[in-house]
Chains A and B, each alone.
Chain A
Amino acid sequence: MIMATEERVLVKPPSEVAKQRPGEIEDASWLPVKVKVRNLNFHYGGHQALFDNSIDIPASRVTAIIGPSGCGKSTHIRVYNRIFEIYRSHKAKGTVEIDGENVLSPATDILKLRKKVGMIFQRPTPFPMSIFNNVAYGVKLHYRASRGEIADRVEDALKRGALWDEVKDKLGEPATALSGGQQQRLCIARAIAVEPELILMDEPCSAIDPVATSKIEDLIETLRDNYTVVLVTHNMQQAARVSDFTAFFYKGRIVEFGATKKIFTNPDSGQTEDYITGRFG
Chain B
Amino acid sequence: MRESTVERPSASPGAVHDQSRPDAVFKWLTAACSLVVIVIMAGIFFELVRNSGMAFREFGFSFLTTDSWNPIKGEFGAASSIYGTLVSTGIAMIIAIPLSIIIAVYLVEVAQPRVSRFIGGAVELLAAIPSIIYGMWGLFVFAALMQTHVQPFLGKHLGALPLFQGPPMGIGMLTAGLILAFMVLPFITAITRDVLMMVPPVLKESAYGVGSTMWEAVRFVSLKYGRRGIVGAVFLGFGRALGETMAVTFVIGNSHRISPSLFSAGNTIASSLANEFNEASEPIYLSSLFALALVLFCIMLAFQTIAHYWVTRMQRLEAGDR
Question: Which A residues fall within an 8 A CB radius of B?
Answer: 81, 83, 86, 88, 111-112, 114-115, 118-119, 121-123, 125, 127-129, 137-138, 141-142, 173-174, 176-177, 187, 190-191, 194
Contact = CB atoms under 8 A, between A and B. Distances in A.
A114 B203 contact: no
Given A111-B213, A128-B221, A174 B206 contact: no
Contacts of A141: 210-212, 216
Given A127-B224, A174-B319, A177-B319, A118 B210 contact: yes
A128 B315 CA distance: 12
B57 interface: no
B257 interface: no
Instruction: Tell which of B112, B208, B209 has the most Cβ of chain A within 10 Å.
Output: B209
Nearest to B217: A86
A86 B309 CA distance: 37
A125 B211 contact: no
A123 B200 CA distance: 10
A174 B318 contact: yes
A119 B224 contact: no
A86 B317 CA distance: 31
Contacts of B320: 173-174, 176-177
Nearest to A175: B320
Contacts of B220: 127, 129, 137
- The 6 A-B pairs at the shortest CB distance, nearest first, are namely A177-B320, A138-B210, A125-B206, A114-B211, A119-B209, A115-B211
A122 B220 CA distance: 22
Given A128-B225, A176-B319, A83 B211 contact: no
Contact of A125 (B202, B212, B216, B317): B202
Contacts of B216: 141
Give the secondary structure class of B's interface.
helix
Given A114-B211, A125-B202, 5 more contacts: A83-B209, A115-B210, A115-B211, A191-B209, A194-B210
A159 to B, nearest CB: 19
26 contacts: A83-B208, A86-B204, A86-B205, A86-B208, A115-B211, A119-B206, A119-B209, A121-B206, A123-B200, A125-B200, A125-B202, A127-B220, A127-B221, A127-B224, A128-B221, A128-B224, A128-B225, A129-B224, A138-B210, A141-B212, A141-B216, A173-B320, A177-B319, A177-B320, A191-B210, A194-B211
A260 to B, nearest CB: 26
